[in-house]
Chain A
């Protein structure tokens, strides 16, 4: 198996169709295939062992991703936000690397661990000039993609995704050529995020034109969605919140061509998704849950689930709007307790997942899969009696107070229902008496009271008293990563700093 097979099929099935729009550049699937071949030939002759991609999304992203697959080199997208030292350390691990980056960095970073460096424009120009590589390997165990995940401690881990994992994911979740010729997917997640890689592969296999937005901005996203008549898009929660704000503030809040909007990558606040559904009643919403180590999506809350949840007054159904849905066919999901035993509906534990798309492997550290093939995700969650999955934060974020395990998410959900609370984060802080105590960092709504006792009383009223925050502090905003993940470590550090 090889990712190239997906592009080859797209070229055979609909090669003359435009597959990529990026600024003024429009490339057909046949063009992408030819350019990947030329670039693969160049890669094969470079002596490099990895391709490192260090830039925002551009046509160089799909061309270098497929060229890597063709030439048999792992594709390693790196964050363009890393500092010089962090970047040098990663490039060292990929040595000798073929680096595709911006023109300035291509010059600055050449040499050392970098066997060859090309600016994206020069890389594309050379690929357009043509050339042809030989056959690609069909070894399913060959490494397709290395994604560096931001560990909370120590050096970043490189998640290993082999061709079999990514190809299994695509074959299991996308019907070949299912997209109509008018369909276009707006991709605004960065290339070093699993969703940025999955978007390229899914869109190519479905025959859905990719419309790239190099760096996210709500107004630019809305303008591009309209000008390119975008039908599908994937966003992280912070992006959706900004799009909703911008749409609400504008005279025309409609996105008439947008049929389907998928979201994931972090916890979606219920208020944001409800506002989005009201603003865009014709759009189908899908919540996608997945991890880098699982080749992207493993569970979806479908458009039908969203509609059922929004139409009913049934509190159980309404609650489903904050669930991440049910597993994809071909993916098994189980919640296990600390002893590794499966728990019943409604009970909290660690989410375990198994399937052909699940890698669970880190470079140089081996496989994190259990002997029975299950991957412990370190995500906490529970299943309801119909198999809908509810996320409850990371296992490592659990607060252990006096021997009792408390879920920050449960307390945050209650706080968020208070009318004075716009956003909040609950973390454990060191405590002499209890080991850990509960601290809540609250962002009040504009003009709302900053009444810590009222909020403590609110939690006590709705949950057991052990869950009542010992400390409540107010802030103007919370630290979020660029893909919408709350940075709990920074919240804890900040609290420790001013204790």
Chain B
């Protein structure tokens, strides 16, 4: 897994999901989508991996996903069938606090 930082774009190896890193811890993290490790957007995913039915909850465009510790945040920039996990634990959608539009 490459070192990730805010702005890094990653893709799923097994579905169409793409994310952008919004916040990341300093140490490296183990990120997966659909049960397979994610790779950088520009990288070619390893062949042969397939979507793990146990991690097929899907990602939703524009939703922000956070890990359990709350120090990793990903923005889904392209939806797909796989679901996101950090160090083996499913990431959850960050609840949006509705704000009035101000501009």
CB distance from A169 to the nearest CB of B (A): 10
Whether the pair B22, A171 counts as a contact (CB closer than 8 A) is yes
Point out the residues of chain A lying under 8 angstroms from B46, CB to CB. none
Whether the pair B100, A302 counts as a contact (CB closer than 8 A) is yes
Whether the pair A9, B61 counts as a contact (CB closer than 8 A) is yes
Q: With an 8 A cutoff between CB atoms, is A75 at the interface?
A: no
One of B22, B62, B100 near A300 (C-beta < 8 A): B100
Interface size class of A (residues with CB under 8 A): 35 or more
Q: With an 8 A cutoff between CB atoms, is A472 at the interface?
A: no
Q: With an 8 A cutoff between CB atoms, is A175 at the interface?
A: yes
Contact with A along B71-103 (1 / 0, CB 8 A): 000010110000000000000000011111111
Point out the residues of chain A lying under 8 angstroms from B97, CB to CB. 329
Point out the residues of chain A lying under 8 angstroms from B75, CB to CB. 171
Point out the residues of chain B lying under 8 angstroms from A8, CB to CB. 77
**CA A290 – CA B61 in complex, angstroms?**
29
Q: At the interface, is chain B mostly helix, strand, loop or mixed?
A: loop
Whether the pair B61, A138 counts as a contact (CB closer than 8 A) is no
Whether the pair B6, A297 counts as a contact (CB closer than 8 A) is no
Whether the pair A286, B102 counts as a contact (CB closer than 8 A) is yes
Q: At the interface, is chain A mostly helix, strand, loop or mixed?
A: mixed
Q: With an 8 A cutoff between CB atoms, is A164 at the interface?
A: yes
Point out the residues of chain A lying under 8 angstroms from B77, CB to CB. 5, 8-9, 12
The residue in chain A whose Cβ has the minimal distance to the Cβ of B23 is A356
Whether the pair B6, A198 counts as a contact (CB closer than 8 A) is no
Within A281-327, which residues are at the interface with B (CB < 8 Å)?
284, 286, 288, 290, 296-297, 300, 302-303
One of B6, B7, B20, B101 near A206 (C-beta < 8 A): B101
CB distance from B15 to the nearest CB of A (A): 15
Whether the pair A297, B78 counts as a contact (CB closer than 8 A) is no
Whether the pair B100, A286 counts as a contact (CB closer than 8 A) is yes
Q: With an 8 A cutoff between CB atoms, is A53 at the interface?
A: no
One of A9, A260, A328 near B101 (C-beta < 8 A): A260
Q: With an 8 A cutoff between CB atoms, is A119 at the interface?
A: no
Q: With an 8 A cutoff between CB atoms, is B11 at the interface?
A: no
Within A141-165, which residues are at the interface with B (CB < 8 Å)?
163-164
Q: With an 8 A cutoff between CB atoms, is A173 at the interface?
A: yes
Point out the residues of chain B lying under 8 angstroms from A195, CB to CB. 103
Whether the pair B102, A264 counts as a contact (CB closer than 8 A) is yes
Point out the residues of chain B lying under 8 angstroms from A199, CB to CB. 103
Whether the pair A140, B102 counts as a contact (CB closer than 8 A) is no
Interface residues of B (CB under 8 A from A): 6-9, 20, 22, 61-64, 75, 77-78, 96-103
